[in-house]
Amino acid sequence: MLTLRHLAIDTVRENVAFLNRHCARYHVEDFLGLGRVEVRNDGRSLLAVLNIVDDPAIVGPDEIGLSDPAFRQLGLAEGSAVHLVPPTPPESFELVRAKVGGAALTDAQLAAIIRDVTDQRYSKIEIAAFLIACASFMTTAEVLGLTRAMIAAGTRLHWQDLGTVADKHCIGGIPGNRTSMIVVPIVAAHGLPIPKTSSRAITSPAGTADTMEVLANVDVPMERMQTLVREAKGCLVWGGHVRLSPADDILISVERPLAIDTREQLVASILSKKVAAGSTHLLIDIPVGPSAKIRTAGEAVRLRKLFEHVGDSLGLTLEVAITDGSQPVGRGIGPVLEARDVMAVLRNDPAGPADLKERALLLAGRILEFDPVVRGGSGNRRARDLLESGAALAAMERIIALQGPPPAVATLGSLVAEVASPADGVVSALDCYRLARIARLAGAPTDKGAGIDLLRKVGDPVRRGEPLYRIHASTNADFTFAQAFAADDSGVAVA
């Protein structure tokens, strides 16, 4: 037996074990070829990637160290006695091989794969094989089967006493599009329950959870989240605690580096989370634009039809809004800057971004029309009344108070550089992808005060040397990287 040691190393979503090269109980060579090890005791087991350590101060010869996520998942106290066994390849991987060979998988087969993925029995290479095989082709029946399997593998919330439970989701790709933080308080002020769980950003400069964390605590356990929804009719929390469709988080962690983002996997990812969260009525926002995820109206229609088919099969009342994705929404790109824009809209500040306000009202109005007492076509007017009367701001302040203060005060990055127009003219295009990259290089979303403050939008006149946007950062390294990337291509076209 080895003694379990908790190592304060954040390996994100990957379980990692650390074994001393001169281990007193095992021959390290027995595990090296496999690259992984299974840690067992008290009926618990954990598969982990194996790293070998030469420094006994990190892991001694009679110890096995686990990274923070691995230690939490195993659930044993530090100092517990554990033993190691070579990992047994998951039986379901034979089904992945069949999928690679062109087979269409049944619901039961997809469920077996997703169970093993959720239990961390797949390596990243094995997950990548599954994702690439699915990206090659998936039938509509497989998309539905995958969605059901992802729902079944995690926690599922139930809100039977609340009746209609609304939610909205944007497929992403548009910087600054922080409409959820305006839609949720509008819908909550109307009295329609809207439990909004969101992910943290993976490749974007900010997710809803990152931006909301500027204003309030988002790290809320499931029981507290349920209380929030009953007391405030809404919440804006990080979904990591409630373990909704946990396989989705694992798959995404491999998808993004591989740049795999098929419409089939997108639909399964989003709908599995929403059904698991207990939503009965869902609005999907699909922005369309030349640098968005969805580039053409035809692609948007095909994606809408797939959402509708799978949503109907799962018993969801689902609508899709196809919106303008030609440029960022609002002025801010990055958590602090986006939170500033959101609160300006909720406070009815005349200087607040009008495009963010109008888009949020459009989406909120569509959701309010899920309520039978709101006549078709009157949702936008009701949403506008709730916003302009201050009711939405009051609802947001109540949500913030109930969720509690953020873990740290976030301030705007003090290192500032302006990116100037190269010529006289009119802004003809903003590259969403390029601007998002610059904001991330500046440090967003890890540094909540980093990002881009847009000073010009499409159609605005500008003179040579006038600023197009400001880069904000907090560290010299990030500041230098972002400036260099912007100098190569600012992401703004002036004609």
- Alpha-helix runs per DSSP H in 196-313: 208-212, 222-232, 246-258, 263-276, 297-313
What is the C-alpha to C-alpha distance for residues 100 and 185, in angstroms, rounded to an integer? 45
Q: What residue has token string 């936008």?
A: 380
Structure tokens at 488: 């190569």
How many other C-beta atoms lie within 10 A of the C-beta of residue 377?
A: 9
Structure tokens at 159: 């809100």
Distances (CA, A) of 1 to 6, 28, 57, 61, 181: 16, 14, 19, 11, 51
DSSP 78: T
Q: Are strands 16-20 and 44-53 parallel, antiparallel or unpaired?
A: parallel
Non-local CB neighbours of 43 within 8 Å, separated by 6+ positions = none
Residues 365 and 232: their CA atoms lie apart, in Å, by: 19
Token pair 């909720």 is found at 346
CB 264 within 8 A of CB 143: yes
Q: Would you list the DSSP string of 378-439?
A: -HHHHHHHHHHTTHHHHHHHHHHHHH---SS-----SEEEEEEPSSSEEEEEE-HHHHHHHH
Q: How far is CA 441 from the centre of its chain?
A: 19
261 is catalytic: yes
CA atoms within 13 A on the CB side of 85: 8
Task: Select which of 119, 261, 355, 385 is catalytic.
Answer: 261
How far is 417 from 485, CA to CA, in rounded Å?
13
Rg (CA), the chain: 24
d(CA 196, CA 188): 11
Residues designated as active site: 261
